[in-house]
Amino acid sequence: MAPLALVNAAIGLVASVLLILMFVIEVPFNGPYAFGSGYELLAAAGCVISAVLVIKISARLAPSAASRTFPPLVFIALIIGAIAAVLVTINVFDALVWILVQAAVIFVEAAWMFWVNRQLVAEGAIRSWTGSLGRLIGLGLMIGLPLAGIGLTLQVLTIPQILLLGVGVFLAGGVWLIWPLWWLLVGTQLRRLDGAAGNSRSSAGNSRSSSGGSRPSTGGTRSSTTGSRPTAGRTNATRSVSAATPTRGSGRRSA
């Protein structure tokens, strides 16, 4: 699981760079959107990997109603996001539909981020500041995305639109850019935790093997002790025969 989180961090970082390049280089000239297509393909791969990680990370938590229902819903949303990313890449539907679907998927995953980081910190799976970063990302996305969406529906270049759109893009875009850092931290910390657990199991197994290996030696000692008993029996028999046989000195005294 930890290597998968690190791969997801790398994909998120590259996708962020491609998206920035698309807005800086391709959007002003209305094409050719090679960076945009690359971003969409990486987004599809990231959604699939994130869906798997959502299930695996949530499985580490104590069973509850939320842990049984929330992760499967996020998994389904991410798979839908992956399919939508592929379809928009091959021009099956409009980019606006893709933007709406992507915003909804990110919002659902952000809600999971806010929830799961609190649980992971409570169970000692990740460090508290990593959990705080994850909750900040989730909260920033859940606030920023609706604000940006409302701003897009307002009249263009009015003060309400500029304020709402500006604040929404700043919050959602800012935390979205540092999202790969969270995956990197979580992957590193979970790898250390799994490695420590593996070493503990290995040490326990070695201790059991050593204890099991010493038992035949005890059995062998018992066998050796048991095997010496006939010798003691023969010695006692010899003493009995010697006592029953009269010595020469005793015979003379009788006479």
- In tens, the pLDDT along 176-226 reads 999 999 999 998 888 887 665 555 555 555 555 555 554 444 444 443 334
Flag whether pLDDT at 233 surpasses 80.
no
Is 171 domain-assigned?
yes
Helix crossing, 95-122 with 128-153: angle to 10°? 150
C-beta separation of 136 from 171 below 8 A: no
Is 173 domain-assigned?
yes
The C-alpha angle 18, 115, 48, rounded to 5 degrees, equals: 40
- In tens, the pLDDT along 50-88 reads 999 999 999 989 888 988 999 999 999 999 999 999 999
Say which amino acid occupies 200. Answer: S
- Among 104-118, 173-187, 231-245, where is mean pLDDT lowest? 231-245
Is 22 domain-assigned?
yes
226 versus 130: the higher-pLDDT residue is 130
Is 109 domain-assigned?
yes
Tokens at residue 8, please?
């997801």
**Distance from C-alpha of 6 to C-alpha of 192, rounded to nearest angstrom:** 13
pLDDT band at 242 (very low <50, low <70, confident <90, very high): very low
Whose CA is closest to 19, among 49, 41, 2, 45?
A: 41
Q: What is the pLDDT of residue 92?
A: 85
Is 102 domain-assigned?
yes
Is 30 domain-assigned?
yes
Flag whether pLDDT at 19 surpasses 70.
yes
pTM attached to this predicted model: 0.75
Tokens at residue 132, please?
């705080």
Backbone angles phi and psi of 201, in degrees to 5: -65, -35
Neighbours of 170 (CB within 10 A): 14
Residue 16 belongs to domain spanning: 2-185
Is 26 domain-assigned?
yes
Instruction: Provide the number of structural domains found in the chain.
Output: 1
**Distance from C-alpha of 183 to C-alpha of 2, rounded to nearest angstrom:** 9
Is 169 domain-assigned?
yes
pLDDT above 70 as % of the chain: 75
Flag whether pLDDT at 149 surpasses 90.
yes
